Amino acid sequence: MPSTAFPPYLFNSEIFVTVAQGVKNMMVEDVLIPILLSLKIVLVATACVFVGGVFLARLLLTQNFFGKEVIESLLLLPMVLPPTVTGFGLLVLFGKHGPLGVLTRFLFGGQVLFTWGAAVIAAAIVAFPLMYQSARAAFEKVDARQEQAARTLGAGELRVFFTITLPQAWPGILSGLVLAFTRAYGEFGATLMVAGNIPGKTQTVPMAIYFAVESGNYRVAVPLVAATALISLGAILWLKIWLKRKFWCYTERKMG
Amino acid sequence: MLTACFRKRLPDFTLNVNFAVEEEVLVLAGPSGSGKTTILECLCGLQKPEEGRILLNEKILYSSDARINLPPSERGIGYIFQDYALFEHMTVKDNILYGVKRTRGTGRDERLPAVLERMGIVHLMDRYPIQLSGGERQRVALARALMTRPSILLLDEPLAALDRRLREKMRQELRELHRAWQIPFILVTHCCCEEQLADKILRPLQGPDNVSWAERKEDVLCKH
């Protein structure tokens, strides 16, 4: 087990271990720790994907430069590649002699591979295209006339973006966010390759389910499966209800 | 007073523009595809001409010689889009207040009651644009533009989308509005319904590869 965490003090899985240890039932520990660890990884990954995806979608939509299509294709590649191939690529990039591996060692003094940070990177890379695609489609649908109207009313570019563009693209962006969240939560192949299956360190829920089922331990697998189904259902349900509440007023209530 | 003298290249022809408007209603009347909307967009800064200059009360909005091209937000020009371009995700109230500059000390609602009263849209404040009729949408668009205290108002086919009865009513309202605000109005139209409003009508002169909207043959306004 590698001793250097990445980044060292930001999030500490030991806290989750202590919390869980208070509970006498060992089953709860086997179930609870992967869930908490998964949520931690997924929340960090989704936050990065959200900011990066929205920013890049807007940037690449409004700017034109040589090689833009190549960059876009590279960003979308993890969506069509088998996760194990993405994982292998990350393994090479972040390995001891890979360019990003050397960089992280220089910046943080440790390896990122086989820490929870590696799981974050794998989840983020795989979930990014979903966020990017949704955000881009949402921005494309925004009425350019309304943005222009805002400009003639005295709004600068930043104000136009935050008061017109973003609110109008919000439903699509939010759908992308939920897709990215659930995809990051379910990430298996790439995570296994770069973060491994270290209980309490990098063992996420999909990992725990697979290895529990493999060893015939259904008393661990079933609660994990149920929890995952509930979390995913909750995310989609929340999206549906939120969209309906927030947007019914100007999309459905037409006057005769 | 607005003085416009510029040249803008379009895919099919070159647009030559040369006119001046004082506190009057100028109607640009020409067929579809004669560059009317392009002229309005060049005036308010949404498009950039190739060369020439545009002056509004001695303020240079655009000048190819001086390399000045003010962004739309700094021009002080009100623009009523043909489809009104109301902000669909905001209530009528938020739409109308969008362009009001927040200055310390003065309440931002100060001018609102008078404008709303005049437009007859007080009861619509909490509605969303999708719940409005065509005439109501236009009044909201007018109120929204006027709240920014523009020095000139541009209207793109303001009556075209309305039915005949409403058209007569809006024509009356526009005339009253013009009298009350005392700023130049520029209307563009492809039919004769807006022409009755005009103090001055400008029609295009079609050349083989250009369309010119000029008041005079000689380039009086273009001389610096």
Is residue B222 over pLDDT 60?
no
Q: What is the pLDDT of residue B48?
A: 94
Q: Confidence band (pLDDT; 50, 70, 90) for B72?
A: very high
CATH of domain B2-214: 3.40.50.300
Per-residue CA distances from B15 to B34, B39, B72, B206 (Å): 8, 8, 21, 10
A161 domain-assigned: yes
CA closest to B144 among chain A residues: A153
Helix (H/G/I), strand (E/B), else coil: A69: helix
- Indicate the DSSP class of residue A65: -
Q: What is the mean pLDDT of residues B185-198?
A: 83
Q: What is the pLDDT of residue A256?
A: 36
CA closest to B44 among chain A residues: A152
Q: With a cut of 70, which residues of chain A have pLDDT below it? A: 1-27, 248-256
Q: What is the pLDDT of residue A254?
A: 46
Name which of B85, B180, B97, B23 is nearest A148 in CA terms.
Answer: B85
Give the Cα separation of A256 and B224 in Å (integer): 56
Q: What is the pLDDT of residue A1?
A: 46
Residue A189 has a CB neighbour count (10 Å cut-off) of 18
Give the pLDDT confidence of B35-47 residue by residue, as tens digits.
Answer: 999 999 999 999 9
User: Which of A9-23, B8-22, B170-184 is predicted least confidently?
Assistant: A9-23
Give the pLDDT confidence of B96-144 residue by residue, as tens digits.
Answer: 989 886 655 455 556 667 777 778 888 898 999 988 988 899 999 999 9
* Domain locations in chain B as residue ranges: 2-214
According to DSSP, the β-strands at B200-202 and B77-80 are: unpaired
CATH number at residue A78: 1.10.3720.10
Q: What is the pLDDT of residue A105?
A: 87
Domain count within chain A: 1
Give the Cα separation of A142 and B141 in Å (integer): 19
Is residue B70 over pLDDT 90?
yes
Say whether residue A144 is in contact with chain B using an 8 A CB cutoff: no
Say whether residue A245 is in contact with chain B using an 8 A CB cutoff: no
Q: What is the pLDDT of residue B33?
A: 86
Q: Which domain holds residue A99?
A: 13-251
Name which of A237, A218, A225, A239 is nearest A170 in CA terms.
Answer: A239
B99 to A143: CB separation less than 8 angstroms, yes or no: no
Write out chain B residues lying below 8 Å of A150, CB-based.
Answer: 87, 98
- From the list B83, B98, B129, the residue facing A153 with the nearest CB is B98
A145 to B83: CB separation less than 8 angstroms, yes or no: yes
Give the Cα separation of A112 and A94 in Å (integer): 7
Q: What is the pLDDT of residue B109?
A: 53
Q: What is the pLDDT of residue B191?
A: 76
Q: What is the least distance, in Å, from the CA of B91 to any CA of chain A?
A: 9
- From the list A145, A153, A253, the residue facing B99 with the nearest CB is A153
Write out chain B residues lying below 8 Å of A166, CB-based.
Answer: none
Name which of B155, B187, B167 is nearest B84 in CA terms.
Answer: B155
Please give the single-letter amino acid code of residue B154: L
Q: What is the mean pLDDT of residues B60-81?
A: 93
Whole-structure pTM value? 0.81
Give the pLDDT confidence of B80-106 residue by residue, as tens digits.
Answer: 999 999 999 999 999 998 988 665 545
Q: What is the pLDDT of residue A29?
A: 76
Complex prediction ipTM? 0.88
Residue A24 has a CB neighbour count (10 Å cut-off) of 7
Q: What is the pLDDT of residue B108?
A: 53
Q: What is the pLDDT of residue A46?
A: 97
A229 domain-assigned: yes
B73 to A152: CB separation less than 8 angstroms, yes or no: yes
Write out chain B residues lying below 8 Å of A172, CB-based.
Answer: none
- From the list B46, B73, B85, the residue facing A154 with the nearest CB is B73
- How many CA within 13 A on the CB side of residue A207? 27
A7 domain-assigned: no
